[in-house]
């Protein structure tokens, strides 16, 4: 049974950066495709990016390209999502999720979510 | 970008009733690339249906998905108290993968 445990809530000032972690248990990171989704009252759920097993690389939604960096540390079974140049609109709950991509695509396991508040 | 429009925004129902939620796509989505999630307050989304009509592991048979092209539905038969939640559709047809804005099913 795979489990995703995310780091705790963050409060940041505009312009700062935040890094959220997602620790995997029950599987190794190399067996999984971890993606990130955020949720805001204004925009709802937004897919940010993640590991594409077909391309063998991390892909990003165009909206987040350049300001979001997704990395993985296989030695600690932890995925990371970093957002730079934070703005108030980045205030959201950030989720990591496992993408299944055999015949069908879907996120079947999610972390508990990490609230990030951007405020001066 | 494919825009998914869900309707209605809110449904006020009673336990035991049956309801159908709609998800309309701005361009055609292969049925294999349409998914439904349920979300309760303070929780992450939970996978309900993938491939437009296949129930995820552990999802009761009262949840059923249907549709193709631009029109998809999620039917919940005989609502149970635990079914009152927000329901989202999502497409994997084109990047960026997008979600609908959600339908709230409330008592």
Interface residue ranges in chain B relative to chain A, Cβ cutoff 8 Å: 32-33, 35, 37, 44-47, 50-51, 54, 56, 88, 90, 92, 95-102
**Rounded Cα gap, residues A50 and A35, in angstroms:** 4
Among A8-12, A71-75, A104-108, the range with the most confident prediction by mean pLDDT is A8-12
**Which structure tokens are listed for A85?**
């140049």
Looking only at Cα atoms, what is the longest distance across chain A?
46
Distance (Å, whole) CA B54 – CA B77:
16
Contacts with B98 from chain A: Cβ below 8 Å: 47
Contact B45 A110 (CB under 8 A): yes
Q: What is the pLDDT of residue A23?
A: 97
Answer yes or no: is pLDDT of A55 > 90.
no
Comparing CB atoms, the residue among B54, B95, B100 nearest residue A61 is B95
CB under 8 Å to B63, separation ≥6 — which residues? B36, B48, B49, B55, B74, B75, B76, B77
How many contacts, defined by CB atoms under 8 Å, are there between A and B?
59
Q: Which segment of A14-23, A96-105, B96-105 scores lowest on mean pLDDT?
A: A96-105
pLDDT computed for residue A118 by the predictor: 97
Give B-chain residues touching A111 at CB under 8 angstroms: 44
With contact defined as beta carbons under 8 Å apart, do B37 and B48 qualify? Answer: yes
Cβ contact (<8 Å) for B92 and A105? yes
Tell me the pairing of strands B103-106 and B10-12.
Answer: parallel
Q: Residue A76: how many CB atoms within 10 A of its CB?
A: 11
Asked if A52 has any chain B CB less than 8 Å from its own CB, the reply is no
Label residue A49 exposed, middle or buried (CB < 10 Å: 0-12, 13-18, 19+). buried
Q: What is the mean pLDDT of residues B28-37?
A: 92
Q: Is residue A1 pLDDT above 90, yes or no?
A: no
Nearest CA to A47 out of A105, A8, A95, A91 is that of A95
CB < 8 Å from B in window 62-91 of A: 62-63
Average pLDDT over residues B14-18: 96
Indicate the DSSP class of residue B58: T
Q: What is the pLDDT of residue A102?
A: 83
CB B68 within 8 A of CB B22: no
């Amino acid at each position: 049974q795979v489990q995703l445990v995310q780091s705790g809530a963050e409060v940041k000032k505009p312009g700062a950066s935040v890094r959220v972690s997602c620790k995997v248990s029950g599987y190794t990171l190399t067996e999984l495709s971890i993606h990130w989704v955020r949720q805001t009252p204004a925009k709802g759920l937004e897919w940010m990016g993640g590991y594409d097993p077909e391309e063998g690389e991390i892909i990003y939604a165009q909206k987040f390209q350049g300001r979001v960096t997704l990395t993985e540390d296989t030695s600690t079974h932890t995925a990371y999502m970093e957002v730079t140049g934070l703005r108030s609109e980045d205030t959201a709950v950030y989720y990591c999720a496992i993408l299944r991509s055999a015949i069908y695509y879907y996120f079947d396991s999610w972390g508990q979510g990490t609230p990030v508040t951007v405020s001066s | 970008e494919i825009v998914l429009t869900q309707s209605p925004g809110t449904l006020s129902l009673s336990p035991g009733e049956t309801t159908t939620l709609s998800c309309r796509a701005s361009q055609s989505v292969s049925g294999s690339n349409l998914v439904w999630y349920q979300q309760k307050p303070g929780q992450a989304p939970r996978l309900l249906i993938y491939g437009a009509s296949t129930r995820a592991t552990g999802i009761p048979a009262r949840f059923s998905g249907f549709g193709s092209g631009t029109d998809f539905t999620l039917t919940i038969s005989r609502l149970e108290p635990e079914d009152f939640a927000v329901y989202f559709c999502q497409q994997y047809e084109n990047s960026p993968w997008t979600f609908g804005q959600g339908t709230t099913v409330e008592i």
